[in-house]
Amino acid sequence: MKITDKIKQGRILSIEILPPDRGKNLEEIYKVLDRLLEFPVDFISVTRHPPEITYLELPDKIIKVPEVKRPGSIGITAALLNRYRIEVIPHVLCYGLSKYELEDMLIDLYLLGVRNLFIVRGEYENHRPGETQDEYHHAQELVRQVAALNRGQYLYPCENPEPTDFCIGVAGYPEKHPESPNPTEDLKNLKAKIEAGADFVFTQMIFDFEIYKRFIDRAAVFSLGAPIIPGIKPVVSLKTVYNLPGKFYVTIPEELICRLQEARTPEDEFRAGTKYMAGLVQKMLNHGAPGIHIFTMGKGEATRALLEAVYGRQI
């Protein structure tokens, strides 16, 4: 089922997982999901990591190669569809593949039964856009390609092409993307992605209800016309709080920091963080959020505790 159709039936719950490191299998992911899917999860989102240029030392030489540290996104998508019979939302990145290679990937995903996509540009490390021929620079370009496939317009000529039926998600940034000059320009970019064909928005992680509220108010002025699902990351330690801003360019409210600082033990920190985030989720839902999207980051216990606090035990 498409995410937009599910939203029409009520609030949704989506969780995001990371692929395993290279050389690892899916057993740990299965263990986490087996416990999380005791709750009313509607969608599992699978991240995709971009290639980073690295140097591989061979016996007789050193070669420069692209390395994906966590490969296997498509394989995981297929495995989850088969094991859990649940809707899976794979991430599709703009760079690392040409638009023609991306078309082949999209066809593979559609044949697997995928009907929801999350399209992001991806963060550039030591790779810059344009290094690969026919590579996209912006998410809206890939959104436009998927929207064309939904109309039966393929890059390669084909006879009597059948249209795909993807529901397209894109990223929104309540505090603006770090490369955007200001929130207004950032919302203009989000609107451009929606006008290109995007159907829903997952936001960057949010920790402050006022930030979420202001973002929704600003988005209403732009008449985006797509549901905005807030992103939530369970926070259960003070160390995590101090690591997040530098990596994700997010603001941590003083109230959360104080609650964690007042905790006397790691267990107290865990409970304090969970209680705060559960309260934040409830405020968002009460404000009209169409659901929540949880960044698990592979931390099943923290996510489970949050789900217990929000939804109660669904066993």
More confident call, 123 vs 45: 45
C-alpha to C-alpha distance for 15 and 143, rounded to whole angstroms: 22
**CB-based burial, 32-50: b 16+ in 10 Å, e otherwise:** bbeebeebebbbbbbbbbb
As a whole number, the mean pLDDT across the chain is: 91
Return all residues near 1 (Cβ < 8 A) that are at least 6 apart.
87, 115
Q: What is the pLDDT of residue 22?
A: 86
Q: What is the pLDDT of residue 314?
A: 39
Q: Per-residue confidence at 84, pLDDT binned at 50, 70, 90? A: very high
Tell me what the mean pLDDT of segment 85-108 comes to.
93
- Rounded to 10 degrees, the C-alpha dihedral 201/207/211/215 comes to 0
The encoded tokens of residue 98 equal: 């040409």
Where is average pLDDT lowest: 7-16, 83-92, 134-143?
A: 134-143
pLDDT digits (tens, 9 = 90+) for 105-122: 999 999 999 999 999 987
Residue type for position 276? Y
13-27, 45-59, 131-145: which has the highest mean pLDDT? 13-27
Q: What is the pLDDT of residue 4?
A: 97
Please give the share of the chain, as a percent, with pLDDT higher than 90. 74
Q: Per-residue confidence at 289, pLDDT binned at 50, 70, 90? A: very high
Residue with tokens 């995981």: 76
The CA–CA distances, whole Å, from 5 to 2, 116, 269 equal 5, 11, 38
Q: What is the pLDDT of residue 315?
A: 29
Tell me what the mean pLDDT of segment 289-314 comes to.
88
Predicted TM-score (pTM) of this structure? 0.92
pLDDT digits (tens, 9 = 90+) for 158-178: 999 999 999 999 999 999 998
Strand, coil or helix: 9: helix
Among the four given CATH numbers 3.40.190.10, 3.40.1390.30, 3.20.20.220, 3.40.50.2000, the one describing domain 3-311: 3.20.20.220
